[in-house]
Amino acid sequence: MANLPRVVILTGAGISAESGLKTFRDSNGLWENHKIEDVATPEAFAGNPDLVYGFYNDRRAQLQLPNVKPNRAHEALASLESVFGNNVLLVTQNVDNLHERAGSKNIIHMHGKLLSSRCINSGRSHTWHSKFDASTPCPCCTPASAMRPDIVWFGEMPMYMDNIILALTKADIFLSIGTSGQVYPAAGFVQVAKDSGARTVELNLQPSDKCALFDESYLGRASMIVPQFIHSLIDEYALTQQNSLL
């Protein structure tokens, strides 16, 4: 199909909720058991590393449980990319690997990855599926260094911001899925896309903090509303393609 739109998608914890992974700010969410400042800041890691290693070791193990797998929302985004190709960029705030397992390829993990460690000495990232702590040697330095979770904590700069902002300024469509719109700079992406003339669409269980900035808003569970919206988008462009051939 010619004239495909450039689509930038932002996902948050809500897209993985129906896969069994807790969100952050919903009732019974991750932050109910822990305060952000106790487990997701550099100060927390410096002050109580064992608590922080344990918080991420638990989530890394949970992510690999047999019942935790991509849901129909992850699969719908992968099918959009299979039709629209490189015109789709998936920016996720999530640190799980469910988008990859659903088949998406053009993914930016702006807040890092659970299944990865980062050498404190070299800064290199390493795929890591098991537990690790301060005594676990990195595989990249001699003598070996300690590693930290490969996660962007509060007060740290998210990853690939230049690529993300550039894509937002060129986007025809900006889709925000399963995020409360409370964490910056991700919460500011809709304004960048809007200022660049993109069609802005929110798909969420309830209106986010930024809902007033969206042209369209669809409320419901991601596994229901995301496939519906994605299929309508693909149909819309297939139809324009047919009309252009007539």
Please say whether the beta carbons of 147 and 119 come within 8 A. Answer: yes
3-state helix, strand, coil in the chain (%, to 5): 40, 20, 40
DSSP letters, 79-133, are HHHHHHGGGEEEEE---SSHHHHHT--SEEETTEEEEEEEETTT--EEE--S---
Least spacing, CB of residue 42 vs ligand BV8, in Å: 10
Encoded tokens for 98: 């469910």
Question: Among all residues, which ones are annotated catalytic?
Answer: 111
**158 lies in the binding site for ligand BV8 (CB under 6 A):** yes
Q: Which is nearer to ligand BV8, 87 or 147 (CB)?
A: 147
Q: Which is nearer to ligand BV8, 84 or 149 (CB)?
A: 149
| List 32, 43, 58, 156, residue binding ligand BV8 (CB under 6 A) | 156
**230 lies in the binding site for ligand BV8 (CB under 6 A):** no
**126 torsion bin: left (phi>0), alpha (psi -120 to 50), beta (else):** beta
By CB under 6 A, the count of residues binding ligand BV8 is: 36
Q: Which is nearer to ligand BV8, 49 or 137 (CB)?
A: 49
Q: Of 95, 135, 140, nearest to 116 (Cα)?
A: 95
3-state secondary structure 44-80: HHHHCHHHHHHHHHHHHHHHCCCCCCCCHHHHHHHHH
| List 8, 13, 89, 173, residue binding ligand BV8 (CB under 6 A) | 13
Least spacing, CB of residue 198 vs ligand BV8, in Å: 20
Please say whether the beta carbons of 39 and 151 come within 8 A. Answer: no
**189 lies in the binding site for ligand BV8 (CB under 6 A):** no
Please say whether the beta carbons of 185 and 158 come within 8 A. Answer: yes
Q: Which is nearer to ligand BV8, 87 or 181 (CB)?
A: 181
Measured at CB, which residue is nearest to ligand BV8?
Answer: 14
Q: Which is nearer to ligand BV8, 60 or 87 (CB)?
A: 60
Least spacing, CB of residue 233 vs ligand BV8, in Å: 18
Q: Of 56, 13, 41, nearest to 153 (Cα)?
A: 41
| List 93, 117, 176, 200, residue binding ligand BV8 (CB under 6 A) | 93
Q: Which is nearer to ligand BV8, 84 or 112 (CB)?
A: 112
Please say whether the beta carbons of 115 and 63 come within 8 A. Answer: yes
Q: What is the footprint of ligand BV8 within residues 34-73 (CB under 6 A)?
A: 40
| List 173, 222, 230, 233, residue binding ligand BV8 (CB under 6 A) | 222
What is the Cα Rg of the chain in Å? Answer: 19
- The residues that touch ligand BV8, with contacts defined as CB under 6 A, are 12-14, 17-18, 23-26, 29, 40, 93-95, 111, 151-158, 178-180, 182-185, 204-206, 208, 221-222
